Amino acid sequence: MAKTQEDRTRLIDRLTLRFIPKFLYTVGMTIEIPDCLAAAPKVKLCTDMKVFEAGQRCDHFYYLLTGRVRVSLLTRAGKSITLYRFGRGETCILSTSCLFSGDAYNADAIVEEAIEAVAVPIAQFQSLLSTSESFRTLVFSSFASRLSAMMAKIEEVTSVSIDQRLALCALELANEEGVVSATHDHIAADLGTAREVVSRKLANWEGLGLIERSRGSFVILNKNALVGMAIDRS
């Protein structure tokens, strides 16, 4: 848990990496398929389709070429909590973990933006692990990176202000036009907070001219202000 100013600054740096990479891509830019995955089959899924669900056995290793997937957990109280997202050039840490352990999924994965992905069947996954050093590097480096991001999320909930977390979330979810297509319930699940808190904060932002709200979405009018809020180290 981040307690000192140095710890907090380091945490903000790690959280900021969640949204910076998306601005490095231009519209239509694709990810090159690693050579070790060139022979693997590809799949395409539309927005709102399930990639997997709790209780399902894991039989593929996924490497995203385009789009974005949200992985969430339903608590015993019936509350949905977002665990993480993965996008182009990234893999799913839960799929990798289940392939190693043989366990079934304990969370759901939903397509937020239509995806194209390399889907490596379990038999090919095991073969590549044994024979391809580049594939092993891809799997373990991706796993370590995603695990670090999840640890940062845990620290975020306890150590970073709601305004800063909301700014990070908005920048992460915004499309190229600055539109965030997400309900207040959805954002609250991402942040691990109450819907009422999100609604109140967004209303304040609109009053300051930072965003413009509409039903089920809002538009970022002042991205620089949100970026400044997101990376504030004070």
Q: Calculate the CA 32 to chain-centre distance.
A: 20
Q: Are 62 and 97 in contact (CB under 8 A)?
A: no
116 and 130 inside one domain: yes
Domain boundary among 104, 125, 157: 157
Same-domain pairing of 77 and 167: no
Question: Which range marks the domain in which residue 181 is found?
Answer: 1-25+161-234
Residue type at position 139 = V
C-alpha span between 90 and 164 (Å, rounded): 25
Same domain, 46 and 150: yes
Element (H, E) at 220: strand 217-220
- Crossing angle of helices 195-207 and 184-191, in 10° steps, is 110
The interaxial angle of helices 223-230 and 162-173, nearest 10 deg, is 130
User: Does residue 100 share a domain with residue 176?
Assistant: no
Q: What is the pTM of this model?
A: 0.66
The total number of structural domains in the chain stands at 2
Q: What is the pLDDT along the chain (234 residues), one digit of tens a residue?
A: 444 555 545 544 444 444 444 443 444 455 678 889 988 999 999 999 999 999 999 999 999 999 999 998 887 777 778 888 898 889 999 999 999 999 999 999 999 989 999 999 999 999 999 999 999 999 999 888 878 777 776 766 667 788 888 998 899 889 888 999 988 988 988 887 888 999 999 999 999 999 999 988 999 999 999 988 887 755
Domain co-membership, 137 together with 38: yes
CATH at residue 101:
2.60.120.10
139 and 181 co-located in one domain: no
